[in-house]
Amino acid sequence: MANENTVFEIESASYELFGGIAKVAISNPPINAISASVRRTILAALAKAEADNAALVLLYCQGNTYIAGADISEFGKPQAYPELPDVIAAIENSTIPVLVAMHGNALGGGLEIAMAGHYRAALTGTKLGLPEVNLGILPGSGGTQRLPRLVGAEKALSMILSGKPISTQDAKDSGLIDAVIEGEWPGAAIDYAGKLLASGPSPRRTGELSVANANAEIFAKAREKQSNSGNRLLAPNYIIDLVELASQSDIALGQQQERERFLECRASRGSQSLRHLFFAERTAAKPKGIDSDVKPRSIENVAVIGAGTMGGGIAMCFATAGYKVTLVELSEENLQRGLSTIGKNYQKGVDRGISSQSKADAALSRITGTTQMEDVASADLVVEATFESMEVKHSVFAKLDAHCKPGCIMATNTSYLDINEMAAATSRPQDVIGAHFFSPAHIMKLLEVVRADKTAPDAVKTLMQVAKRIGKTPVTVGVCYGFVGNRMLQKYARQAQLLLVEGATPKQIDSAIKEWGMAMGPLSVADLAGLDISYFSRRNQGIEVGSLPECSVPDELVDEKRLGRKTGAGFYQYDPDSGKQSEDPYVIEKIQAHAKKWGIPQRQISDEEIADRLILALVNEGAKILQEGIADRASDIDVVYVNGYGFPRWRGGPMFYAETYGLANAVARMRQFQEQTGDDFWQPAPLLCKAAESDAGTLEIGKIAD
C-alpha cells in the first residue's frame, strides 16, 4: 500500500503522492534543461517514490515544454555529479513503473530519459527528437541504443543523423511512444497516468528489447551517404557504428562505447564551434543598448519596392510567413516579370517537397502587385530593393516619406550605401533602417539589421522580431561601407586577387579554400555573382579602371565582356551545354602579364598560405569592425559569416576560428605577411594585438583585460 498523500518540493521539482501515483513535476525554465540539479532531483524523486511505496511514477515538466536536452552551457566545465547515464540507469532499473509524459519539445537527453522510462505519452503537438548531431555530438545517454530498440534501425538512423524532430503521430506509429494525449497540461498527463495505473502496469525495460530490421545494407547506405556529404565532424560516422552495435550486442556494451564516443565528440573542435554558434545566434538576437521594456511596433502589412531578384525574394519571405505584401514596380512589364518569377520559385519549392501546394498558393495570394507608389500607404513596414545608386535611393526615400503612414518603418536592402544619407532624405530618420538580405533572399538565413545614427530603438527591435518570424537569423550592425559582411568580404576577395598576381591560379585558390572548409572559392563566387558587380562597386568607390594590382585583371575581364557564368567566361570558362567549369589558359596568361606589368614576381604559393591569407584577412577586418563598434560582439560577426557567406559552421565563424588558431599566432602571421608583401593592410588591428597580449584568449571586448 502506498503511503499517505504527500506534497513537497525537491530541488528542481515538485513531488506529490496522490492515489498511489508519485507525480514528479520538473521545473528548470526556460527549457527544463537537464542541469546537475535536475539530475539530482530525479534520483531523489525516485528514491522518495520507493520509500513511499508508490504504485506508479509520473515524470513530467512544468512550464511550456518537457526537457529539451542536456544543459549545453555545462559542457566544457568540470562534470557535476550525478551524470545523466546514472540517472537514466536508475529510471530504467526502477522497480516501480515509470511513465514519462511529454509536451512542447522532447529533445536530446530529455528524450533519452523518456526512452528509459517504462511507458511514454506525449501531448499532441510535441516534437520528439535527438538533435545532438547539430551540436557536433551524439546522444550520450543511451539514445543510440534505445531509439533503435524502440523504432528499428532505419528510422533511428534517420532521426539521429538528421537531428530533425518527429511529430507525436509519427512517434506513436513508429513505437517511440505508447499514446498521444490531448487536453490541458498537466491534467491530460495525470488523467492518462490514472488510466495506466488502472491497467496494472509493470516495468518494461527498453534495454531488453532487440533491434528490428537491422540489415547490413541500411548501414552500408548510411556510410556511403555520409562519405559523400563532405561533413567533417566525427559524430555522424560514430552514430552509424553505434546504431549497428545496438543491433549486435547487449545494451551495456553499446552504452559504454556510446559514452566514450560522446566524450570524444564533446571535446572536439567541431563541437566546440557548433556550441559556440548555438549561443552566438541566440545572443545576436539581443542587440546591445536596447532596453527590454522597449515595445516593438505592430507589423501586419508589408510593402516591397522593386520586383527584381532581391525584391521578389524578399516579398516571398514575408508572404510565406503570413504577411500581406504589396509589391511595387515602376512598369507593368517589370512587375509581371517579377510576379512570374515569384510564382515559379514557389512552384520549385513544391516540386522539391519543401512546401505544399496549398501553402505555396496561399503565400502567393498574399502578394499584390502595383505600379502606384501611393499603394504603400497601408504598409507598416516597407523594404526597398531598388538599384544600388544613392541617387535612386534618395528619390525612393523622398517618395516613401510622402506616402507612408506615420510610424511606418522604412527599410533599405542596400548592400553598401550610407543609410544615414538615405535617412536624411526623409523627415523621419528615426524610422529609417537597413534590412540587408542575402541572395537568394527567400533561402539565405542571414539578415543584417543596420542601425543608422538616428534609427529609433523600437524600429530595431521590431525588425529583429519580424526577422525571426520570417525565419531569418538577424544580426544588428552599424553603418559603414559594406556593413559587417561585405566590408570583410572585400578584404578577403582582395587577397584572392593579390594571390593570383603573386602566382596562384584561380583553381588553386578555390580548391585550397574549399579544402579548408569554405562552401565555394572566391573566384567561382565572383564568376557566379558576375564580375560586373564588383567592377561597378569599385567605380562607385572612385577607384579608376585597372589602377591597382588587385583589380587590374578583373577590370580587364569585364572590359572584354567576360562577366562570369552569365557570359560563359570569367576567371574560368564554362561549357555552354553542361555549364561545367574549367581553367582557362587565356586567363592564366593574362594574370602573368599583369604581374609583369606591376613588377610582382610570381612564385609557388602553398595551399596553407592561401587559406591563411584569405581567412586572416577576414579576421583583421573583423577586429577593426569590432573596435569601431560596427558589430556589437565578435560572436555576431561569426553569425554573419556562417549564415551569409558559406563559412564552415564546424569552424565556428572567423572570430572564433582566430581564437582557436591562437590570437598571438594570428598577429605573428599577419606581421609575417606584412613583411613579405609590404602591404599595410597586414598591420594587425590594435584590438587584435591587445587581445593577443591579454590572457583571456577571446576577442570579445568586455573580456579583454586593459
The site for ligand 3H9 (CB under 6 A) is made up of 30-31, 33, 68-73, 84, 105, 107-109, 112, 131-132, 135, 139-141, 143, 279, 282
Hey, which bits of 254-351 come out as E strands? Answer: 301-305, 324-328
Cβ proximity of 82 and 42 under 8 Å: no
Written as one string, the DSSP assignment of 638-700 is: HHHHHHHS---GGGT-HHHHHHHH-HHHHHHHHHHHHHHH--GGGS--HHHHHHHHSTT----
- For 115, half-sphere exposure in the C-beta direction (CA atoms, 13 angstrom radius) is 31
In the complex, least distance from residue 337 CB atom to ligand 3H9, rounded to whole angstroms: 37
User: Is 260 annotated as catalytic?
Assistant: no
Collapse the DSSP code of 631 into the 3-class scheme (helix H, G, I; strand E, B; otherwise coil) and give the result: strand
Collapse the DSSP code of 203 into the 3-class scheme (helix H, G, I; strand E, B; otherwise coil) and give the result: coil
In this complex, which beta carbon is closest to ligand 3H9, that of residue 33 or of residue 631? 33
In this complex, which beta carbon is closest to ligand 3H9, that of residue 237 or of residue 677? 237
In this complex, which beta carbon is closest to ligand 3H9, that of residue 54 or of residue 128? 128
C-alpha cell, 476: 544588428
567: phi then psi, degrees, rounded to nearest 5 = -110, 10
User: Is 544 annotated as catalytic?
Assistant: no
Q: How far is residue 417 from each of residues 409, 433, 487, measured CA to CA in Å? A: 18, 12, 11
In the complex, least distance from residue 203 CB atom to ligand 3H9, rounded to whole angstroms: 23
Of the candidates 112, 281, 329, 502, the residue annotated as catalytic is 112
Element (H, E) at 437: strand 432-437
Residues 6+ apart with CB under 8 A from 195: none
In the complex, least distance from residue 497 CB atom to ligand 3H9, rounded to whole angstroms: 40
In this complex, which beta carbon is closest to ligand 3H9, that of residue 108 or of residue 313? 108
Task: Count CB atoms within 10 A of the CB of residue 335.
Answer: 17
In this complex, which beta carbon is closest to ligand 3H9, that of residue 123 or of residue 591? 123
- Distance between CA 554 and CA 497 in Å, rounded? 8
Of the candidates 11, 74, 132, 182, the residue annotated as catalytic is 132
- Distance between CA 84 and CA 306 in Å, rounded? 54
Give me the helices (H) in 229-250, please.
Answer: 235-248
> Buried (b) or exposed (e) across 1-25, using 16+ Cβ within 10 A?
ebeeeeeeebbbbebbbbebbbbbb
In this complex, which beta carbon is closest to ligand 3H9, that of residue 139 or of residue 429? 139
In the complex, least distance from residue 627 CB atom to ligand 3H9, rounded to whole angstroms: 26
- Please state the separation of Cα 405 from the chain's center in Å: 35
Residue 247: which of 176, 149, 142, 159 has the closest Cα? 149
- Distance between CA 560 and CA 583 in Å, rounded? 17
Pairing relationship of beta strands 367-370 and 324-328 according to DSSP bridges: parallel
In the complex, least distance from residue 37 CB atom to ligand 3H9, rounded to whole angstroms: 13
In the complex, least distance from residue 150 CB atom to ligand 3H9, rounded to whole angstroms: 16
In the complex, least distance from residue 619 CB atom to ligand 3H9, rounded to whole angstroms: 26
In this complex, which beta carbon is closest to ligand 3H9, that of residue 3 or of residue 465? 465
In the complex, least distance from residue 531 CB atom to ligand 3H9, rounded to whole angstroms: 40
In the 8-state DSSP scheme, what is residue 218? H
Q: How far is residue 375 from each of residues 301, 340, 463, 654, measured CA to CA in Å? A: 11, 20, 21, 43
- Distance between CA 480 and CA 457 in Å, rounded? 19
In this complex, which beta carbon is closest to ligand 3H9, that of residue 109 or of residue 554? 109
In this complex, which beta carbon is closest to ligand 3H9, that of residue 285 or of residue 443? 285
Q: Which residues are catalytic?
A: 112, 132
